[in-house]
Amino acid sequence: MIHQFDAIIVGSGGAGLYAALEASQRCRTAVLSKLYPIRSHTGAAQGGIGAALGNVEEDKPDWHAFDTVKGGDYLVDQQAARIMAEEAIQAVYDLENRGLPFNRTPEGRIDQRRFGGHTRNFGEAPVKRACYAADRTGHMILQTLYQQCIKNEVAFFDEFQVVDLVMDNGTCKGVVAVELSTGALHILAAKAVLFATGGFGRMYKITSNAFANTGDGPAVCARRGIPLQDMEFYQFHPTGIMGLGILISEAVRGEGGILRNRAGERFMERYSPTLLDLAPRDIVARSILTEVRAGQGIRGDRRIDDYIHLDATHLGRDTLMRKLPDITSFCKTYLGIDPADAPIPVLPTAHYAMGGIPTDIHGCVVRDGAGTVVQGLYAAGECACVSVHGANRLGTNSLLDLVVFGRRAGRHIGDYVQQAAAPSVSEADAEPARSWIARLTDGRPGPHGGHILEDMKLVMMEKVGIYRNAADMQNAIDTIQALRERYRTVRVQDRSKTFNTDLLEVIELGNLLDLSLVTAVSALNRQESRGAHSREDFPERNDTQWLKHTLAHLEGDAVRLDYKTVDTSIWEPKPRTY
Ligand SMILES: Cc1cc2nc3c(=O)[nH]c(=O)nc-3n(C[C@H](O)[C@H](O)[C@H](O)COP(=O)(O)OP(=O)(O)OC[C@H]3O[C@@H](n4cnc5c(N)ncnc54)[C@H](O)[C@@H]3O)c2cc1C
């Protein structure tokens, strides 16, 4: 079945919905989502969205942009970071005007709280910059945007999973998707396609990410010749629930929560004397692991030996209920403790992809270091790399990235489709996807994908995690290549057409395997430590050789690496101290 639109948005998280909202004002826009829209991972975002409103303390967009650049260990493209910090203010007020119920100050303004790495006056002390709706900020953003899209009569294709991209001579013409309820393949042709498919934390064993975060957009693009940028930079959030990885928002520390080791010591005093528990995430995650490795963790239960305590008992039950109600209930449900009475056992959890599909500041996908635009193809949100997060993202900057760059991409699409020709597609464009699915479901014997998935997640967790070295990463690459080999013989035993989740999960596994390979190869190649990429064998940052973005091209079983210049036009890179 073939459908024609001006613009197709793949993904209905914050980035996709904001782009759809803008594009739909100028052209016929459809949103495809493998999930019912408001189940997107944006809805799980807890702590807040960053904007230098200065409602509680003095603040400036320039301070915000600088913190973003420094937090990203100078791999951030600085003009892009400045755009994000400046447009943040209007973006938050737009959300407010569209109905988002932010928490308020006693004077009725949007309230703000502290978050890691956000400071006043270029690093002096933490500043209150995160706007929030209790610990359900993402949920509120998603609801607000979805309602506005319905009002704008955006066409929604709910529970459609995109499996391929239709390209013609380097120009994007549309996507191929499986309709979950029938198994039918659809071609959606459009002048412009935007990927907003979110992250891929499911590559790791312990993660804060939802089951659907399997990196479909970047993987589909990579297989169609688009490079992936800075994939070696994957963020571990310092505080996941020990053993499970479910996120305990940084907002707990923003409100005053303290990390303690087995001696009850506030160990962040040793690692970050100025920002303490509110240092950037890469630093806090490494500090926790260093404490645990030094035998300073707290002896845990059967699941994992040692962990660290996040102590929020001194905040009081009232603050916890007003500002962190969901976190409080997670602790009760998953740990059987009340954070008002007992400290929370935490360990780092795989959380956020700094890398992804490379784009310019309008969301246009670029194919090389010179910034050559792929006509008709856009990306925004966590699956994209603008790059405003560089080597390490600051908390609250992802929701901001979605809103600012989702909106910019939507606007650019609105212009672009006015002059672009309608593409011509045919059923033949779905042939590669059709024959792939036919092979997976041909009824022949073959291994189940489940074991491959478990092996991949484990090797990524153990060998391409927080601390890395060449031997481990090479070992991970060999394992992943062997798993990819086995994947080629996988068969789906359930051959039904209706909601065949077995089939869809196998397709997602293929995506995760491709992204794991690109991540591990990019990480082995970068012989330095920067942001979230921390190498035991190359412990220093090396600007002379490595102040450059990686562009990884997936070519069959090989990954070809190329580079792109980092925009350092505003602030000269300096060593990071906090
Ligand atoms: C638990 C948690 C808490 C967080 N808290 C914060 C926070 O407080 N502040 C902050 O700034 N950031 C936070 N983040 C990060 C932030 O929420 C995410 O980076 C962001 O929401 C990603 O949004 P997105 O629009 O890019 O994608 P998502 O919201 O993940 O949406 C992806 C969309 O793509 C669709 N999709 C995916 N693959 C396909 C396919 N093949 N076909 C069709 N559709 C597809 C999905 O159905 C979904 O609609 C948090 C993340 C997590 C996991």
> pLDDT per residue over 519-530, tens digit each?
999 999 999 999
Cα distances (Å, whole numbers) of residue 430 to 402, 427, 437, 458, 549:
30, 6, 11, 34, 34
Residue 457 has pLDDT above 50, yes or no: yes
Up-side HSE of residue 232: CA atoms within 13 Å toward CB? Answer: 31
3-state secondary structure of 227: coil
Closest residue CA from atom 33 of ligand 1: 11
* pLDDT tens profile 196-218: 999 999 999 999 999 999 999 99
**Inter-residue contact 298 to 307 (CB < 8 Å):** yes
What is the DSSP pairing of strand 49-50 with strand 171-179? unpaired
Rounded to whole angstroms, how far apart are CA atoms 172 and 176? 12
Q: What is the predicted pLDDT for the residue at 484?
A: 98
Question: Among residues of the chain, what percentage have pLDDT more than 70?
Answer: 99
Residue nearest to atom 13 of ligand 1 (CA): 45
β 384-385/357-358 pair status? parallel
Whether the predicted pLDDT of 304 surpasses 70 = no
> Amino acid identity of 80?
A
R_g of the chain, CA atoms, integer Å: 22
**To 5 degrees, how large is the angle CA 169–CA 173–CA 175?**
125
DSSP state of 422: P
The angle formed by the CA atoms of residues 64, 68 and 70, to the nearest 5 degrees, is 115
Report pLDDT digits (tens) over 428-456: 999 999 999 999 999 999 999 999 999 99
Q: How buried is residue 381: exposed, middle or buried, by Cβ count under 10 Å (0-12/13-18/19+)?
A: buried
CB of 393 closer than 8 Å to CB of 402: no
- How far is it, in rounded angstroms, from Cα 537 to Cα 16? 40
Q: For residue 399, how far is its CA from the centre of ligand 1 (angstroms)?
A: 9
- How much is the mean pLDDT over the chain? 96
CA distances from 269 to 156, 278, 327, 520 (A): 50, 11, 25, 33
pLDDT mean over 76-88: 98
Residue 237's DSSP bridge partners are 349
What are the tens digits of pLDDT across the range 227-242? 999 999 999 999 999 9
Q: Which atom number of ligand 1 is nearest to the Cα of residue 210?
A: 53
Q: How far apart are CA 402 and CA 382, in angstroms?
A: 8
Cα–Cα distance, 403 to 411 (Å, whole number): 12
Instruction: Give the SS3 label for residue 468.
Output: strand
Least confident range from 16-20, 320-324, 365-369: namely 320-324
Instruction: Give me the mean pLDDT over the 11-33 stretch.
Output: 97
Say whether pTM exceeds 0.85: yes
User: In whole angstroms, what is the distance from residue 118 CA to residue 279 CA?
Assistant: 9
Our CA dihedral for 519, 524, 527, 529, rounded to 10 degrees, sits at: 50
pLDDT at residue 301 above 90? no
For the chain, the residue count is: 578
Q: How far is Cα 538 from Cα 153, in angstroms, rounded to an integer?
A: 53
Sequence letter at residue 436: W
- Per-residue confidence (pLDDT) for residue 300, from 0 to 100: 57
The answer to whether the CB of 549 falls within 8 A of the CB of 228 is no
Catalytic residue positions, numbered: 281
- Which residues does 571 contact at the CB level (< 8 Å), separation at least 6? 66, 69, 70, 74, 78
SS3 101: coil
Q: Whose alpha carbon is nearest atom 31 of ligand 1?
A: 13
**Looking at residues 75-91, what average pLDDT do you find?**
98
- Assign 303 a pLDDT band (cuts: 50, 70, 90): very low
Q: Residues 503, 43, 47, 76: is their CA dihedral positive or negative? A: positive
Q: Give me the mean pLDDT over the 546-569 stretch.
A: 98
- What does the alpha-carbon distance between residue 310 and residue 330 come to, in Å, rounded to a whole number? 14
What are phi and psi for residue 106, nearest 5 degrees?
Answer: -55, -25
Band of the pLDDT at 299, cuts 50, 70, 90?
A: confident
pLDDT band per the 50, 70, 90 thresholds, residue 311: very high
Residues in contact with ligand 1 (CB, 6 Å cut-off): 10-16, 32-35, 40-42, 44-49, 137-138, 160-162, 196-199, 208-209, 212-213, 216, 247, 249, 352, 381-383, 395-399, 402
- Cα 237 to Cα 37, 117, 214, 303: the distances in Å are 25, 13, 18, 19
Q: Which of 49, 197, 223, 235 to mutate to test the pocket of ligand 1 (most atoms within 8 A of CB)?
A: 197
Mean per-residue pLDDT, 369-390:
98
